[in-house]
Amino acid sequence: MKNKKIVPLLFGMFLGGVLGICTGILLGSRYGGERESGAEAWRVVREESVKEAETEADVSEDSHVPEPAGEQDDPETDTKEQQEKERQAAESEPASEQDKEQDQIQAVVSGMTLEEKVAQLFFITPEALTGYETVTAAGETTKEAYARYPVGGIVYFAKNLEEPEQTRKMLAATQEYAMQRSGLPVFLGVDEEGGRVLRIGNNESFGVERVKAMGELAQEADVETAVSEAGDTIGAYLSALGFNVDFAPDADVLANAENSVIGDRSFGEDPETVAKLADIFAEELTGHGILACYKHFPGHGGTVEDSHEGTAYLDRTMDELRQKELIPFQDGSRNGVAFIMVSHISDSQAVGTQEPASLSQAFVTDVLRTELGYQGIIVTDSLAMGAVTTRYSSAEAAVRALQAGCDMLLMPENFTEAYAAVLAAVEEGVIPQERLEASVTRIVRAKMSLAGGR
């Protein structure tokens, strides 16, 4: 988003820590020696980084040497030269920092096994990870399951979230297991939009303010303040509990008055208003360290059917979509929203086929990635929804979504089947290695941004 504040020391420490972990893994694999755990490697690098920072500070404080008495340079000339040096430094620093960051990300990705890279593509429930019917704690079963499948993200629902202390302990333990296993944080996500979609806010045990639906807030006299406060409220309590991803805001333009699956989840009928308010909400989440997710590309507000149950249809040309439904997603892309979720709606008028948008290269790669220039993480809507499961197996849907250009696969109906299918597809060249690494690179970059404080 527009707010891109970075805590330099923390970010540098994190990048150095991850690089150190990867180097340790590679050396351990080559020479057969024991490798340090992610937590221990991180501790060592953190201490070294702090020492380096203190040394730099000491050098900076002691570096001023008084000029000898005598002939002095022209102050105006010195000022101009200094300004020119500062300008040149300002122009070169961002590129240098970006190059350094990219090198560190590449080192992390290169240090992963094929199985670890494939696991990062999945965003699943704790039940899918552990095999338990309902998960409300994270103990040895979760630790062992994550060691086998170090997935990119875990999404939680109301049944997993009983009260604050239970939720904090569960999420903290899960995050600890992830850091021990891979040295990278795991995405811990939830649907917390406001109104009827509040996994936490609708549970009185959490004692948090119940935020109104975005459609209701859009009717307020000072709508921008209302939406800003809503995002701030949700972002604050999600962060305090240990979440780092919110599958919100809903960026659908309500283009069909009969649409009930979206309804008051949308900010309204005007695409420019939806774009502006979605950005305000997402900015507030980002300020609390919560990655936002615009949904449901290319726009679910014009359908009548519910894609949870079966196929939902749009009947718009691509030009019509560009003039309305795509505008908020274009704005989110421009502002750098962390995630964009692709829906399972079908629109043959726009792309010539009835396949779900999430499995459509025309929608995902040609429009979202190329035309709109989106550089963040493209995640599918739940692959357990009827619009997918009535037409595709878990294996087929997972492979097709990645071929279409998606980066992360949300909640396949059968996780192990989907995982095995993607692994085999990469091994057999159906999904090229570079295609896999492009998605993993985006995922790793976002995770580094979490630790870097931006």
Does the annotation count 306 as an active-site position?
Answer: no
Q: CA–CA separation, 276 vs 278, rounded Å?
A: 6
Answer for the pair 241, 200: CB distance below 8 angstroms, yes or no.
yes
Answer for the pair 153, 123: CB distance below 8 angstroms, yes or no.
yes
| Total number of residues shown for the chain | 454
Catalytic residue among 308, 319, 331, 347: 308
CA distances from 180 to 156, 186, 268, 348, 386 (A): 21, 11, 44, 46, 36
Catalytic residue among 250, 331, 381, 407: 381
Q: Is the dihedral of CA 194, 198, 202, 204 positive or negative?
A: negative
CB neighbour burial string for 298-323, b if at least 16 within 10 angstroms, e if fewer = bbbbbbebbbeeebbbbebebebbbe
CA 334: distance to chain centroid?
16
Report residue 417: phi and psi, to 5°: -65, -45
Beta bridge partners of 190: 156, 246
Does the annotation count 331 as an active-site position?
Answer: no
| Residue 32 Rama label (left phi>0; alpha psi -120 to 50; beta) | left
Find, among 175, 151, 340, the residue nearest to 241 by Cα. 175
Q: CA–CA separation, 226 vs 22, rounded Å?
A: 45
Active site residues: 308, 381
